[in-house]
Amino acid sequence: MRVHISQLVPGCVLLRDVNGKSGKPLFRKKTVLTEEFIAFLHAFLLEGVDVYATLADGSKFMPPKREQTAVKEMAGSSKSLTNEADPDNMTVIELYHFAVQQYEQLFRQWQSNAPVNVTQVKQIAQTLFQRLDDFTSIILSLPAFAKKANWPSHRSISLCIMSCYLGKKAGLTQKDCMQIGVAALLCNVGMAKMPSIPAPLKSERNQAQEAQYRKHPVYSYRMIENEKGLHHFSKLAVLQHHERIDGSGFPIGLASAKLHRFSKIIAVCDTFYEIMLANPEISAFKAMEDMQKNEFTRLDPVWMKKMQQIFSHLEVGTIVELSDGKKAEIIFNEPNEPLRPIVRVQDSEEIMALQTNPSVYIDSIVPNHP
């Protein structure tokens, strides 16, 4: 049966493959949908999918009426900075949009010349940090959630999640992760002081707009430099998040030795986010490979490698789809090349070392299905 995305419930089983805009499958048929998978489908703005009439547990699937789901969606979208909203009871997709809405309210206040309330910003970071592990299944898909109309809010929330996640999984302390997350939320506050919000991608900005855009780290820093409740390292990360280790960044052109670790982490996450935003047709794995190839002199190589290892979730036994359309099982991980493991190709049983086959890369992880 064909149902709207809003009618899906955990346990629904896909009757047919679900393809993304590139034409490549997001999910294969017979995939059992979880809450996270449904959130993923929402992120790609898909209208409907075909599912079996029975759920994975054998019970009959009774899709709720669209009127009921519409009311539920409207109620969820109206959640704001009130005590009625309980992030602990939200799905991960609801939590993301709730955090974006919180940030957007603060951003509008900053546009009206209100000072930055660091306590409120920390509350957003703390809420996201408490649910950080819930973002595991969609960490690579966060750029797909972005809306152009209020892109600084979407980008700031995504950067907070990604930077905190990377830091936590890399073994940083909770205190450091929180400082990174708060800094990520504050990196774009300076855009509230601009006459108009610049376009999110460099390719969309003219020379004058690019010159204006390059001022936002300084604007952001000026707005928070005297905040006593904000750690000095977080302030440095705000100012330095567009600096690059070879000195080619902005606004100052500092090189690696003068860049704080927090700014290097945010820079890696921000660059990945921008690549995915500019190239929605490519896979996240290809985006990380392109980032390593094209940015290796500009981004910290240690944190690029850690990002690949942590974000990819490529464990032995994982079934992946390769860029040539073949499915394969990961049988050995190359420590120095986390995106290029050794795989066993299904059907042919061929053993392939992706490290020595540069034309073939991992396109996606094949979800488990019965």
- Name which residue leads in pLDDT, 365 or 133: 133
Residues 74 and 212 reside in one and the same domain: no
**How many contiguous H segments (helices) and E segments (strands) does the chain have?**
12, 9
pTM: 0.81
Q: What is the pLDDT of residues 285-315, one digit of tens each?
A: 999 999 999 999 999 999 999 999 999 888 8
Q: Tell me: the pLDDT tens digits for 221-273?
A: 999 999 999 999 999 999 999 999 999 999 999 999 999 999 999 999 999 99
- What's the pLDDT score for residue 287? 94
| pLDDT given at position 334 | 86
Task: Give the domain-ending residue among 55, 78, 101.
Answer: 78
Residue with the larger pLDDT of the pair 83 and 225: 225
Q: Are residues 32 and 93 in the same domain?
A: no
Task: Say if residue 91 is in the same domain as residue 74.
Answer: no
User: In the prediction, which pLDDT does 137 show?
Assistant: 81
Burial of 174 (0-12, 13-18, 19+ CB in 10 A): exposed
Of 53, 78, 103, the domain-final residue: 78
CB atoms within 10 A of CB 131: 16
Q: Contact at 8 Å (CB) between 324 and 273? A: no
Q: What is the dihedral angle through the alpha carbons of 150, 298, 136, 185, rounded to the nearest 10 degrees? A: -40
Residue 9 or residue 179, greater confidence: 179
| Tokens describing residue 222 | 């000026």
Please count the structural domains in the chain. Answer: 3
pLDDT value of position 84: 55
To the nearest 10°, the Cα dihedral for 90, 93, 99, 103?
-150
Distance separating the N- and C-terminal Cα atoms of the chain: 19
The percent of residues above 90 in pLDDT, for the chain, comes to 67
% of the chain surpassing 70 pLDDT: 91
Whether residues 307 and 213 fall in one domain: yes
Q: Which helix (H) or strand (E) holds 353?
A: strand 351-353
Whether residues 65 and 120 fall in one domain: no
pLDDT tier for residue 45 given thresholds of 50, 70 and 90: low
Domain match, 131 and 44 both = no
- Clarify whether residues 159 and 178 are in a common domain: yes
pLDDT in tens, 266-275: 999 999 999 9
**Statement to judge: residues 185 and 68 lie in one domain:** no
Distance CA 126, CA 249 (A): 30
Verify that 74 and 10 share a domain, yes or no: yes
Is the pLDDT reported for residue 356 higher than 70?
Answer: yes
What confidence tens digit (pLDDT) does each residue in 156-184 have? 999 999 999 999 999 999 999 999 999 99
CB contact at 8 A, 353 and 342? yes
Interval 45-72 mean pLDDT? 74
Whether the pLDDT of residue 278 is over 60: the answer is yes
369: pLDDT strictly greater than 60: no
152, 54: one domain:
no
Do residues 291 and 262 share a domain? yes
Q: State the CATH number of the domain containing residue 359.
A: 2.30.30
198 CA to centre of own chain? 21
On whether both 242 and 331 belong to a single domain, the answer is no
Element (H, E) at 321: strand 319-322
Where is 84: in which H helix or E strand? none
Q: What range defines the domain where residue 298 resides?
A: 83-312
Dihedrals φ, ψ of 86, to 5°? -120, 100
| CA 209 – CA 196 distance, rounded (Å) | 9
- The CATH number covering residue 211 comes to 1.10.3210.10
CATH number, residue 13:
3.90.105.10
Amino acid making up residue 134: D
**Given 46, 78, 110, which residue is the final one in a domain?**
78
Phi, psi of 66 (to 5 degrees): -60, -35
